[in-house]
Amino acid sequence: MELRALRYFVTVADELHFGRAAERLHIAQPAVSQQVARLERELGVRLLDRSPRRVELTSAGQRVLDAARRTLAAAEQVRAAAGQATTTVRIGAAAGLTARLERGIDALRERAPEFDVALVDLPVEAQLNALRQGELDLVLARGLGSAPGLVVLPAWTEPLLAVVSRHHPAADLAAVSLAELADDTLRFPARKHDPPLYEAVTGVLRDAGVCPKTSRPTGTIQDTVVEVGSDPRSWTVLPADQVAETRSTRVRAIPVKPAITISGSVVVSEDTASSAAGCAVTAFRDDTASGTS
């Protein structure tokens, strides 16, 4: 049994789509199909139910998936023990965390000056899948309570801010309630860009009893800010660190009343040593010394 076949199977199981799995693996789709079929023949069970519209794990496939993840993680540990592992730390991060990343990387380098960093640019959900497969070492995410196969370690909090055009009637207020904005159009990135953040923000609105008018989903955070800045009767809700990175003069960021925060976490695989995870949390936690979050 080849580790490559296990890795291909795990990728297909994460994506539930052979084409997307092939894209992630940077190989042709037939090669993925062949490896998974070979693995099924070797094990004597069907791992996936395939149809023109969907791919689903069988019950045997779910059992094999859990074992395959453990096997791939163990293989990485063997390589590390043999001195073959690189000192590069592969990090994925949600949008708008540049300052926190810089502080955290500096803090990690103080502990281990020889290590290098590789930042991986993927949608948040793809980052979590890559973490499960051992393709990333840690992920920084907002609004994530739990994730199958991963350990979510709370590390910081950020206030959520209302963002409006500088021409919006609320632009000069010291604070604004979500209810005061509900009659205007809410603009927010599509769920696919950052599912945990999307769920957290929609949950905040739901808990506040606010049902605003909504536009079509926007693109990136920058796209959202540009659209809000161009429409004096629209608004959005963003974490403070994301707002700080936009640097737009066309919008105003206003504290929400009552104040609402969102949690940020360091996410690691279940196989990561607790001491290493603890170091990461310490590195990326709130910067209390400077009074920022």
The domain segmentation of the chain, as residue ranges, is: 3-81, 88-155+264-284, 156-262
Q: What is the pLDDT at residue 289?
A: 37
**For residue 11, what are the CA distances in angstroms to 16, 29, 151?**
8, 12, 19
Q: What is the pLDDT at residue 208?
A: 87
Per-residue confidence at 112, pLDDT binned at 50, 70, 90?
Answer: confident
The answer to whether 279 touches 267, Cβ cutoff 8 Å, is no
What is the percentage of the chain residues whose pLDDT exceeds 70? 92
The answer to whether 265 touches 140, Cβ cutoff 8 Å, is yes
Q: Which CATH number fits domain 156-262: 3.40.640.10, 2.30.38.10, 3.40.190.290, 3.10.129.10?
A: 3.40.190.290
Q: Which residue has the tokens 């001195």?
A: 83
Tell me the per-residue pLDDT of 155-171, one tens digit each, with 9 for 90 and over.
Answer: 999 999 999 999 999 99
The one-letter amino acid code at 102 reads E
- Comparing 49-53, 104-108, 182-186, 275-279, the range with the smallest average pLDDT is 275-279
Q: What is the pLDDT at residue 172?
A: 95
Q: What is the pLDDT at residue 128?
A: 92
168 CA to centre of own chain: 31
| CATH annotation of 3-81 | 1.10.10.10
Between these two residues, 149 and 76, which has the higher pLDDT value? 149
Between these two residues, 267 and 269, which has the higher pLDDT value? 267
Q: Which H or E element spans position 125?
A: helix 124-132
Q: What is the pLDDT at residue 82?
A: 56
Domains 3-81 and 88-155+264-284 share a fold: no
The answer to whether 169 touches 231, Cβ cutoff 8 Å, is no
What does pLDDT average to over the chain?
86
Asked whether the predicted pLDDT for residue 67 surpasses 70, the reply is yes
Per-residue confidence at 60, pLDDT binned at 50, 70, 90?
Answer: very high
Structure tokens at 144: 């994530």
Is beta strand 261-269 parallel, antiparallel or unpaired with respect to 150-165?
Answer: antiparallel
Torsion angle (degrees, nearest 10) of CA 39, 45, 47, 53: 110
The answer to whether 204 touches 256, Cβ cutoff 8 Å, is no
Asked whether the predicted pLDDT for residue 37 surpasses 50, the reply is yes
Tell me the per-residue pLDDT of 173-203, one tens digit each, with 9 for 90 and over.
Answer: 999 999 999 999 999 998 888 999 999 999 9
Asked whether the predicted pLDDT for residue 124 surpasses 60, the reply is yes
Is beta strand 88-93 parallel, antiparallel or unpaired with respect to 138-142?
Answer: parallel
Per-residue confidence at 293, pLDDT binned at 50, 70, 90?
Answer: very low
| CATH annotation of 88-155+264-284 | 3.40.190.10
Mean pLDDT, residues 260-287: 81
